[in-house]
A and B are shown apart, each in its own frame.
Chain A
Amino acid sequence: MGFLKNKSCRQQITDEHRSCQDAGRRAFLKKAVKAAAIGSTAVVAGCQAPGLLGSKEEMALQFQEYFKAHYRLMTEKERDATIIRLERLAKLQKGVDVQISSKGALPGVLYGYGFNVTRCEGYMECVSACVRENNLDRKSNTQYIRIFEMEPGQMAPNAGNGKFFNEVPVDGRFYMGAQCNHCDNAPCIKACPTKATYREPDGIVVVDYDWCIGCRYCMAACPYYGRRFNWNEPVVPANEITRKQHYLGNRQRRRGQMEKCTFCVQRTREGRLPACAEACPTGARIFGNLLDPNSEIRFVLENKKVFRWKEELGTDPKFWYFID
């Protein structure tokens, strides 16, 4: 684990460096990549009749995408290039203009999440906000967040009822959410044979979608049911696509890739709350920087009765349940 962290620190420095760079360079690169794409069209043009896999340009872009490296190992230039290709592909395939960010972790930030068991009333606004924000597959009804209706005496989501269709809240019952816990000692990272899933310096456990081979070992390893697999080609209607995206976050996924909650990396690294925390009408969801002594999450950890799910596994989740 030690060497991983070292690497992430280095990454952080380059990321910071990048984030203050001017956007003009990317615009310039955009043209260059487009030219290159058209150039390499000649290479692949002979292989397939146009129309079968989309236009020639699309094929060329996909051809270049195929050979790209793991996100963590890409140089700044390579990151810019792949983002331009991905944005162009979104335009070609869906006709939408998306902006994909590659903003790195902010320095001195470690994200943590608190879930107020007393407050949650089971409205599930968080679930639908998450689906919209993260462009989750509408076809298979993918959801990162699950809400469970609990009877008194139960205190773990797996004991509750995840399929309630009654009006909420019900007297005498309470509600618990479950989602990826962003374990600090994550079994999914340990299991992944390709390092496609890894921990960012701000503690977010992400999947490099394009590096994932879809073996699903991480899914078997996750004790919190935090991961979702794209069994089919995900479908999101073009007019519902959230366009502000992040390479490690809510950008378009493909069939056969693993995905998961990213603490809305596209929002949180811009200083906003995750969509779920923002959407919650009861204020049951607390999010913030664990390293900032004045953050709300720190207040919760210091003043409330908190607990973590399956503490005995030693996964060290950064997701706490608490009671008012």
Chain B
Amino acid sequence: MTQKSSVRQLFGFMTDVARWSLSGGIGYQLFLCLLVVFMMLGVFAYLVQWKLGLTVTHMSDIVSWGFYIANFTFLVGVAAAAVMLILPSYIFKDEHFHHVVIIGEVVAVGALIMSMTFVFVDLGRPLQGWHILPIIGLFNWPSSLLTWDILVLNVYLVLNLSIPAYILYCHYNQREPDPRKYRPFVFISIFWAFGIHLITAFLYEGLPARPFWNNPLMGPRFLASAFAAGPALITVLLAIIHNATTFKIPKQTFNKLRLIIVISAIINLIMLFSEVFKEFYFPTHHSLSAEYLYFGLDGHNSLVPWIWTAVSINIVGTLLLAFNPGKNRPMVLLPACVLLFIGIWIEKGIGLIVPGLVPSPLGEVVSYAPSWVEISIALGVLALGMFVVTILLKPALIIEQRFETNNETV
């Protein structure tokens, strides 16, 4: 192939992708517009925060990280969970997962973009962000876990963009991708997926100042909860795609996903109970955070309803998925997935970050709930993530479908 024609091919690929992502039925257009509206809301709220400072949030010197960092933590997990599709599909050559692996990768990209945006909006001085970059700034690596996290998240983003991009590009041109070119990177990305979430856990685990976080179970628990919440989200997304588009998803895919979710969710619950046991069987001064979370402390009990909701829907969701009373009917499966997802979001977000910071090292107890600015920015970031997922997924599915039908007819 001459260079000229390959450039033209690439150009054609790009324009087609752009065309496919933005064109669609009226429903699709409306959906995109709605997302843009929410993004605008986020931008507006961010401008307010920009103008007045982080004082417009409800964070304080005591609760110095809040809703943003909570969502960041959770979303890193969702991003890592793509590995639960990548691993079986590329390594074990599982055809049911292979069919949908691209969806997992796109979800990972969306989740990564969201989580990094959450870190960015949390910065007190975003304009000085370059100070953290290697070479032009001062990158406190390997000492600071935050630099580790920045490193691994960005590499994971590149991996999850480039592997599918290469495969899609080949499929677009109706040829089989060369495994020698992408398989090494698939291996790296599998290790990396575990890495991003472990390191995000180490961010907290490595702080002896915060007994609630300084807990060796943090890393494994992060993984278990992520491998439950991520596939739960993907299940719901697959169901939507199955119903809303011509891209059909085999039943077996759902069944296998259910198994993954159940196993992870059970491991997660076991670890949760182990933690709860440790905190409450013989409460020490270090258990005050857990007490604050589950029962409230000194009259500050804003988190109590949240955590009990989270734990109950976690259990209900897990039981529903495990015993499968609906016999794999989406009527039961999907709500169970949604319950599990929300439960883990609460527990691993607000339920993890805030109690880590309360009581403060000086023993002070305060309540925290996000302000309207925090909620609006979070909605904006969520819309951004959904937007990214949508416009990436649409052309990806078209290409995949064309490739598959073509191969069948050949």
Asked if A269 is at the interface of the complex by the 8 Å CB criterion, the answer is: no
Asked if A132 is at the interface of the complex by the 8 Å CB criterion, the answer is: no
Known: A220-B207, A224-B361. Is A190-B128 also a contact (CB below 8 A)? Answer: no
Complexed CA–CA distance, A196 and B122 (Å): 17
Question: Would you give the shortest CB distance from B357 to chain A, in whole angstroms?
Answer: 7
Report, as a range, how many residues of chain A touch the other chain.
35 or more
Asked if A281 is at the interface of the complex by the 8 Å CB criterion, the answer is: no
Interface residues of A in 145-166 (CB under 8 A from B): 146, 148, 157-160, 162
Tell whether, in the assembled complex, residue B138 and residue A195 are in contact, meaning their CB atoms are under 8 Å apart: yes
Interface residues of A in 246-302 (CB under 8 A from B): 254-258
In the complex, chain B residues whose CB is within 8 Å of the CB of A212: 124-125, 128
In the complex, chain A residues whose CB is within 8 Å of the CB of B54: 214, 229, 231, 255-256
In the complex, chain B residues whose CB is within 8 Å of the CB of A192: 140, 144
Asked if A194 is at the interface of the complex by the 8 Å CB criterion, the answer is: yes
Tell whether, in the assembled complex, residue A178 and residue B362 are in contact, meaning their CB atoms are under 8 Å apart: yes
Tell whether, in the assembled complex, residue A213 and residue B145 are in contact, meaning their CB atoms are under 8 Å apart: no
Complexed CA–CA distance, A99 and B362 (Å): 35
Asked if B394 is at the interface of the complex by the 8 Å CB criterion, the answer is: no
Tell whether, in the assembled complex, residue B128 and residue A220 are in contact, meaning their CB atoms are under 8 Å apart: no
Asked if A216 is at the interface of the complex by the 8 Å CB criterion, the answer is: yes
Tell whether, in the assembled complex, residue A257 and residue B207 are in contact, meaning their CB atoms are under 8 Å apart: no
Asked if B340 is at the interface of the complex by the 8 Å CB criterion, the answer is: no
Asked if B252 is at the interface of the complex by the 8 Å CB criterion, the answer is: no
Known: A219-B64, A257-B125. Is A193-B139 also a contact (CB below 8 A)? Answer: yes
Of A194, A210, A215, A220, the residue contacting B124 (CB under 8 A) is A215
Known: A193-B132, A212-B128. Is A187-B123 also a contact (CB below 8 A)? Answer: no
In the complex, chain B residues whose CB is within 8 Å of the CB of A256: 53-54, 123-125
Of A70, A195, A232, A314, the residue contacting B55 (CB under 8 A) is A232
Asked if A40 is at the interface of the complex by the 8 Å CB criterion, the answer is: no
Interface of A is mostly: loop
Contact with B along A162-199 (1 / 0, CB 8 A): 10000000000000001000000001001111111000
Tell whether, in the assembled complex, residue A213 and residue B132 are in contact, meaning their CB atoms are under 8 Å apart: yes
Q: Which residue of A has the minimal Cβ distance to B364?
A: A162
Known: A221-B207, A221-B209. Is A190-B364 also a contact (CB below 8 A)? Answer: no
In the complex, chain A residues whose CB is within 8 Å of the CB of B138: 70, 73, 194-196, 211
Complexed CA–CA distance, A262 and B126 (Å): 25
Tell whether, in the assembled complex, residue A191 and residue B146 are in contact, meaning their CB atoms are under 8 Å apart: yes
Q: Which residue of B has the minimal Cβ distance to A313?
A: B208
Asked if A123 is at the interface of the complex by the 8 Å CB criterion, the answer is: no
Asked if B299 is at the interface of the complex by the 8 Å CB criterion, the answer is: no
Interface residues of B in 314-338 (CB under 8 A from A): none
Interface residues of B in 221-248 (CB under 8 A from A): none
Question: Would you give the shortest CB distance from A157 to chain B, in whole angstroms?
Answer: 6
In the complex, chain B residues whose CB is within 8 Å of the CB of A233: 53
Asked if B253 is at the interface of the complex by the 8 Å CB criterion, the answer is: no
Tell whether, in the assembled complex, residue A187 and residue B209 are in contact, meaning their CB atoms are under 8 Å apart: yes
Of B125, B146, B208, B356, the residue contacting A223 (CB under 8 A) is B208
Question: Would you give the shortest CB distance from A257 to chain B, in whole angstroms?
Answer: 7
Complexed CA–CA distance, A117 and B119 (Å): 42
Contact with B along A3-21 (1 / 0, CB 8 A): 0000000000000000000
Complexed CA–CA distance, A257 and B361 (Å): 21
Asked if A307 is at the interface of the complex by the 8 Å CB criterion, the answer is: no
Interface residues of B in 132-147 (CB under 8 A from A): 132, 137-140, 143-147
Asked if B60 is at the interface of the complex by the 8 Å CB criterion, the answer is: yes
Q: What residues of chain B have their CB less than 8 Å away from a CB belonging to chain A? A: 52-55, 57, 59-61, 64-65, 119, 122-129, 131-132, 137-140, 143-147, 150, 203-204, 207-210, 356-357, 359-364
Besides A193-B132, A214-B128, 19 more A-B contacts (Cβ < 8 Å) are A158-B362, A158-B363, A160-B363, A162-B363, A162-B364, A187-B209, A194-B139, A194-B140, A212-B128, A213-B125, A215-B119, A216-B122, A216-B124, A219-B64, A220-B65, A224-B361, A229-B54, A229-B124, A255-B53
Query: Can you list 9 A-B contacts with CB-CB less than 8 angstroms, sorted by A residue number?
Result: A191-B146, A194-B138, A221-B207, A221-B209, A224-B361, A229-B54, A231-B54, A231-B60, A255-B54
